């Protein structure tokens, strides 16, 4: 009876997962982007022309919108990036701060043109979500360890029996080496 319930549970779970993935397919925009053939985005042939550390700092924050994937105007060597650098250099000459330049860049090219999304609104999800998951996993690990531990304490003698290596899978030499190292440590203590 329990086994049948378990089978039903497994099948329902599997079906739910498949259904979720199928719905994902319909919710997903077209997969294929026009990314060209392998290696096309790697083309690099022009000049960078960065004249100071300040320029580099600003250029590094701004994405090149020429179509090269994930290139900032501090690294992209295409002709568009060259024009962008001239444009941003002019902004710097006017005395605009990095934040003002970023704001202007987003106004011109959209929020996707930043190398790191701005730290506002739903963009925070980018680091909050993984951090929450990581903390959740840490809590889970601690819970599991505590459960293992409390079971170990309460089990008493049974634990001692269970802690021997679980059969032939453990390298016999390794077990012996562990024992010898322990003896060595004990001897040195004496």
Partner 1 sequence: MLQALQQVAKLLPVSLPEFGTAVLYAILVAAAYTFAVAIAAGRGRPRLLQAARLGAIGTVSMVGLAVLVLAYAFVSHDFRITYVAHYSDRAMSTPFLIAALWGGQDGSLLWWLFLTSLFSGACVLWLKRKYLELQPYVIATLMSIILFFGLLMVFEANPFATSLAGAPIEGQGLNYQLRNFYMIIHPPSLYIGFTSSAVPFAFAVAALATGRLDNEWIVASRKWMLFSWLFLSIGNSLGMLWAYDTLGWGGPWAWDPVENAAFLPWLTASAFLHSIMIQERRGMMKVWNVFLICLTFWLTLFGTFLTRSGLIASVHSFAQSGIGIWFVYMMGVVAAVCIALTIYRLPKLRNEGELDSLLSREAAFVGNNWGFLSLMVFIAVATTWPRISEWLLDQKSTLGPTFYNAWLPPLVLTVLALMGVAPLLGWRKTSPELFKKSFRWPVLGMVIVAVLHVTLGKHFGFPAFISVDPIYPGLLGDVLSRVSGTYPFFTIAIVAFNLVVVVQEFARGVTARQKNAVDEGVIGSLLHLVAKSRRRYGGYIVHVGIALMFIGFTGRAWSVDKEASLMPGQSTSIEEYTITYAGPRMEVDSEKRMIFADVDVVRNGKAAGRISPAKFIYKTMPEAPATIVGRYITAKNDLYMIIGMVNPQSKVAAFQIHVNMLISFIWFGAIVLALGALVAMWPDVAMEEVGAFGYVRAAASVTTAVVFGLLLAGGSAQAYGAQPPPVGDVVQAAPAPLTVGATDP
Q: Is residue 85 part of the contact set for partner 1 (CB under 8 A)?
A: no
Q: Is residue 107 part of the contact set for partner 1 (CB under 8 A)?
A: no
Q: Is residue 100 part of the contact set for partner 1 (CB under 8 A)?
A: no
Alpha carbons 97 and 127: distance in angstroms, whole number: 26
CB of 139 to partner 1, least distance (A): 10
* Phi, psi (deg, nearest 5) at residue 63: -85, 145
Rounded alpha-carbon distances, angstroms, from residue 153 to 9, 83, 139: 33, 69, 21
User: Given candidates 105, 108, 145, 157, which one binds partner 1 under the rule CB under 8 A?
Assistant: 145
CB of 65 to partner 1, least distance (A): 6
Residues between 34 and 63 with contacts to partner 1, criterion CB under 8 A: 34-51, 56-57, 60-61, 63
Helix, strand, coil percentages (3-state) for the chain, rounded to 5, are: 65, 0, 30
Residues in a beta bridge with 189: none
Tokens 């089990």 correspond to what residue?
155
Q: Is residue 166 part of the contact set for partner 1 (CB under 8 A)?
A: yes
| Cβ proximity to partner 1, 40 vs 107, nearer residue | 40
Q: Is residue 1 part of the contact set for partner 1 (CB under 8 A)?
A: no
User: Given candidates 1, 77, 85, 104, which one binds partner 1 under the rule CB under 8 A?
Assistant: 77
Q: Are 65 and 109 in contact (CB under 8 A)?
A: yes
């Amino acid at each position: 009876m329990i086994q049948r319930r378990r089978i039903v549970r497994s099948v329902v779970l599997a079906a739910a997962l498949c259904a979720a993935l199928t719905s994902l397919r319909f919710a997903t925009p077209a997969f294929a982007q026009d990314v060209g053939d392998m290696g096309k985005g790697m083309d690099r042939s022009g000049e960078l022309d960065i004249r100071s550390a300040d320029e580099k700092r600003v250029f590094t924050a701004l994405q090149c919108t020429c179509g090269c994937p994930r290139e900032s105007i501090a690294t992209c060597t295409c002709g568009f990036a060259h024009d962008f650098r001239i444009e941003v250099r002019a902004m710097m000459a006017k005395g605009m701060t990095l934040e003002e330049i970023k704001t202007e860049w987003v106004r011109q090219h959209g929020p996707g043109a930043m190398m790191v999304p701005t730290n506002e609104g739903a963009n925070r999800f980018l680091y909050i979500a993984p951090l929450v998951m990581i903390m959740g996993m840490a809590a889970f690990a601690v819970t599991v360890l505590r459960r293992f531990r409390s079971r170990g304490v309460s089990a008493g003698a049974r634990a001692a029996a269970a802690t021997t290596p679980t059969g032939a899978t453990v390298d016999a030499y390794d077990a012996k080496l562990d024992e010898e190292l322990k003896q060595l440590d004990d001897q040195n203590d004496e």
